[in-house]
Every structure is written in structure tokens, then in C-alpha cells.
Structure 1
Amino acid sequence: MRTTDVRLSLATQSARPDRPNEDFIGAASDVVVLLDGAGTPAGLKTGCSHGVAWYARTLGSTLLSAVTQSAGTLTEILAESIKNVASLHDFTCDLVHAGSPSATVTMLRRTDDVLEWLVLADSAVVLDTGTAEPTVICDDRVSRIGARYRALMDGLPGGSPEHAKAFRGYVETLRDHRNRDGGFWVASVDPLAAEQALTGTVPVDQVRAAALLSDGASRLVDRFALASWRQLLDLLGQDGPDELIRRVREAEYSDPDGSRWPRGKVHDDATAALWKFL
């Protein structure tokens, strides 16, 4: 087994200081876990008294504990963790409600000389394998489904009452496609969602670094087009995750009404981690 030194840097920031951060980032020896809770617009019910931030933190910490203690596959660990978290509030909350709290999941685990990855929904894992273009793993089913319904929302000024109403309608419509065939899959109350995650492995000696990104951090590339994936990795490596988030915020503040970059949320929770293999 090749001995590999690693260095991990991470940062997370809520979209607004008056709202809880609905992302989760955690790490242990040879494991990194990132979740992005699916925020619920004001006025929409979820059937849950705990909220999205609670769900992301609880599932994230459950996953982190489980993945450090189990030799099972990442898919198996995710399924069992979803089941366990559901059991924590199935007697107090309406888990069949279409708006039950949910989250994207990304995980990395190093086992011997292999790096394993799992991606469920639209957070991203980016692998720097030394080639000109990094390997980007992101489940794009959410964005492909969403593209059918976002025209009205995108045509309205961000931050306006009309945009907020259209955003609520957009989220309600997406709920009808969540965790069902032909739609998209996220972690919520159904353990079977774990089987829909993208998974794979790569030899550790082929990886220089690996990044995990919530979509609030990756929007510098995939929504704003202000950097390539290679440039994002270089930025993380040279200046760290805090600088990535700072540049995302700078772009957001430069376009407060979404006229340049139409989006559901003017600001989003942003989380990034970089795992360097030295």
C-alpha cells in the first residue's frame, strides 16, 4: 500500500447571516462528506417541524459516523443512514409530505490505494488527475428537469415579490418529480434513493486533489461561467475555499436582480472542500 500524505481545507458560508446554513461539511480520517440541504421558500410547508438545516446536519453527521465504522459500500451506508434519520422524526413529522426535508450528498473515502466517490443530486466532485481537464462528477437530473419549468422565474427580477412567487411555484413543481422514475433523486426519507447515486473509484496515485462543492460554490463555473473547472481547482489549491466563496459572493452582488445570471436564489449557501494528495 502506498503511503500518501493528505491535506484538507474547507469553508462554508450561509447565503445570509440571518438564516441558518443548510449545507453540511464534515471530515474524518480518509473521509469527507458534504450535503446541500434543499432550501424551502417562505410560505411552503414541509410536513417537518425540524427544518432543512436540521436534516442536513443530522444526515451528514450520521453518514460521517457510519462511513468511518463500516466496511460497506458508500451506497449501502447512505441507504442505512437515510433510514436511520427518518426513524428520528417519523412519529413527529409527516414523512409522506412532498416537501419533506431533503439534501444532496457527496462523499469521498480513501481505502488502501483507492479513492471512492458518491454523488447524489447536484453537488459536485471534481478530481484532478493531472490531465488538462479534471474529471467532474455531478448528477444533472435536477437541472435537466428544472430547465423545463424555470422560464417564468428566470424572466423576473431577482428579489422582487413576483420572482419570489414564481420561485415557490417552481419548487412546488419540482416536488412532483422528486424521488421517482423519470425525475431526480435526493436524500430524504426513502433509503432506495441511495441506489440512484453516481458512484465510482479511482486509484489514489492517479489523483492529485479532489474537490467537493455544493451548487452554491460551483456556480462560479456552472452558472456564472467566470472560471473553468481547471481554474476553480487552481484557485482552491492556491488561495483556498474561502477565496472561492468570496468570488462567488462578489459575482452575486454584482448581479442582484439576476439580469445577467438568472437564478432561483440571488445568494445561496456555499461550501467547498479540497483534499490534496501529496
Structure 2
Amino acid sequence: MRVAFASEPAYPDRPNEDFIGATADAVVLLDGASIPPGVTSACSHSVRWYSHTLGSTLLAEMTQSAGPLPELLAQGIKHVTSLHDFTCDLTHGGSPSATVIMLRHTADHLDWLVLGDSTLILDTRAPEPLVLCDDRLEQVAAPHRARLDSLRGGTPEHADARREYVETLGQYRNRDGGFWVASTDPLAADQALTATIPTDQVHATALLTDGAADTVSRYGLMTWRQLLDTLAQDGPAELIRRVREAERTDPHGERWPRSKPHDDASAVYCIGSSVAGHQVSLCCAPAL
């Protein structure tokens, strides 16, 4: 499996809270959940620390074990929690968290896992690629976005609305009827979307944090098929360049309402075996 990737922080002077790790047979992508000013956390560790520590742990596990991906994710969450449960109050809702995509390539099959709102795309050479994203966060968030979306970005009112929005979503995080991400509870891994597909049915895959997937899902600059073509022809860095170009034309979120002008953006493109398109049978976590 050949892997190409690019990642860019929201702002040059701020840490990138995304994480990408890859070997010839495994890829991990995490998107750390930014904590806006004014939202307190009882954990002394940064979101970047969490996403990078969990991401490197998961990559090591995937190269050492052929166990089910949810099991490896649960072990990874448990391990990272053990690194700071004696120094931090991890019962507080503001503990660092991250979305997770795990992809493992073997001789005859491809295993994948998606937890949270990052996006995995499988190019099976069908007319339309298979787009996989855990949309439970969006389902929960939609009713609470009205005030935030109505305000001009960069204003104190917008900053206050964003803080309230994040605090509200915290009440739904890792709860039945809410949404699930990696944080302190290893049981969140049981809620991940997972499946296995024969390797010869997949020509290529793409892993995107929401900052990169916004090219299609928010800004409508291209279709998912065109996004795959861009990754294949011009590489992940070009995709991120187009995201930033769109965001600069709308710095205050008037055309595309959003919680912040820019987000960390990461894209991974993997080339595997190629065949004609096939139907793919998915085994996902039950909808809540």
C-alpha cells in the first residue's frame, strides 16, 4: 500500500491537533477536538498531546497485532487514560478527545474503523465512491447551531456562542443518544463503525479530517469523485490548498457559517489493488 499525506494547522502559530501515522500496511488518522477559550478542562494535557499519544499507540498496536480494530482502539484508549488518570480529573467533560480512523491492509482484505466525524472514502471503481462518516455528532449538533450560525465570525458574540455550543455538545459526548469519540472511556470503541472488504475490491482509499472533507461537505467545491481525482493527480496538499483558498474568501463565515474561520486539515491517500466496482457489505454500529 502506497501512502501520501498532508496536514496543515488552522493557523501557523498554533499547534496542529490532527495526527497521521502510517506504515506500509496500516494508517491512523485522528482529529483532536479543539477546546475554545473560556471552556475549562480539569486535564492538564493538551488536545495535541492526546491525539498524538493515542495515534502513535494505535499505529504500534496495528503493526503488532491482528486483533479486531475496535479491540485495539479500546486498548489504546485505556493505555492513554492510564498515563494521566492519577494527575488529571478525567471525570470532567472537558477531557481531551479525538475522532479516529484506522485502516489495516492485509494480503486479502482491508479492515477499517471510523469513530467520530472524520471521513473515510473507499474507491471501488464504481461510479460513486463509498463515503463513510459517523454522522451522530451532526445529528446532535444541528438543533443547537442556530445562534452560532446567525452571528458574524470574529465577533465577541460569535466567540460566546461557540463556547456555549461546545459546552452544550459536551453533555452529549459519549452518551447513549449522543455521539461517540475517543477520550477516556474504552467502551467508546464499541460504538465505532467497522467493516472488512476484500482487498481486490478497493483501488484506493482516502482518510480526511473534517477540515479537509469540508471541500465537499461544507464548501461544495467538488464531488467526492472529484476529490479522489484531485488526490490522485495533484496530491493531498493541493486539496488542503483549495480548502484554505475557499476559507479566505469568507473569513467571517457569512457564506459558509462555521464555528471558526479555519480548522486543522489533514488528508491521506492510499493506493491498493484495483478492480471493477462491486457491491460492498458493511457491518456498522447500530444507529442511536
Pick the TM interval, shorter chain: over 0.9
Note the residue ranges of structure 1 that are not aligned, 5 or more in a row: 1-5
CA deviations on 1:141-180 (whole Å, 9 max, x unpaired) are: 0011110100000000111111111000000000000001
Residue matched to 1:71: 66
Of 187, 212, 219, the match for 1:217? 212
Distance in structure 1 (CA, Å) of the matches to 2:216 and 2:42 = 34
Q: CA RMSD in A?
A: 0.7
Distance in structure 2 (CA, Å) of the matches to 1:46 and 1:136 = 34
Residue matched to 1:121: 116
Residue matched to 1:258: 253
Secondary structure in 2 aligned to 1:257? coil
State the 1:47 CA deviation.
1.2
TM-score under structure 2 length normalisation: 0.94
Of 8, 16, 22, the match for 1:13? 8
Asked if 1:189 is matched to 2:184, the reply is yes
Secondary structure in 1 aligned to 2:270? strand
Of 11, 36, 40, the match for 1:41? 36
Asked if 1:203 is matched to 2:201, the reply is no
The one-letter code of the counterpart of 1:8 is V
CA deviations on 1:17-75 (whole Å, 9 max, x unpaired) are: 11100000000130000000000001111211111010000000000001110121000
Distance in structure 2 (CA, Å) of the matches to 1:66 and 1:7 = 20
Distance in structure 2 (CA, Å) of the matches to 1:160 and 1:113 = 53
Asked if 1:101 is matched to 2:96, the reply is yes
CA deviations on 1:125-156 (whole Å, 9 max, x unpaired) are: 00000011000110000011110100000000
Secondary structure in 2 aligned to 1:146? helix
CA contact (8 A) 2:120 2:207 kept: yes
Distance in structure 2 (CA, Å) of the matches to 1:18 and 1:231 = 31
State the 1:218 CA deviation.
0.2
The one-letter code of the counterpart of 2:230 is L
Query: Which runs of 4 or more aligned residues in structure 1 lie more than 2 Å from their structure 2 counterparts after TM superposition?
Result: none
Distance in structure 2 (CA, Å) of the matches to 1:265 and 1:202 = 36
State how many pairs are aligned. 273
Moved more, 238-247 or 43-52: 43-52
Of 90, 106, 127, the match for 2:85? 90
Secondary structure in 2 aligned to 1:26? strand
Of 41, 45, 53, the match for 1:50? 45
Distance in structure 1 (CA, Å) of the matches to 2:28 and 2:178 = 24
Distance in structure 1 (CA, Å) of the matches to 2:132 and 2:256 = 23
Distance in structure 2 (CA, Å) of the matches to 1:261 and 1:80 = 38
Distance in structure 1 (CA, Å) of the matches to 2:66 and 2:238 = 35
State the 1:83 CA deviation.
0.2
Secondary structure in 1 aligned to 2:143? coil
Distance in structure 1 (CA, Å) of the matches to 2:104 and 2:98 = 19
State the 1:112 CA deviation.
2.1
State the 1:271 CA deviation.
0.2
Residue matched to 1:248: 243
TM-score under structure 1 length normalisation: 0.97
The one-letter code of the counterpart of 1:110 is H
Secondary structure in 2 aligned to 1:219? helix
The one-letter code of the counterpart of 2:265 is A
Distance in structure 1 (CA, Å) of the matches to 2:99 and 2:132 = 13
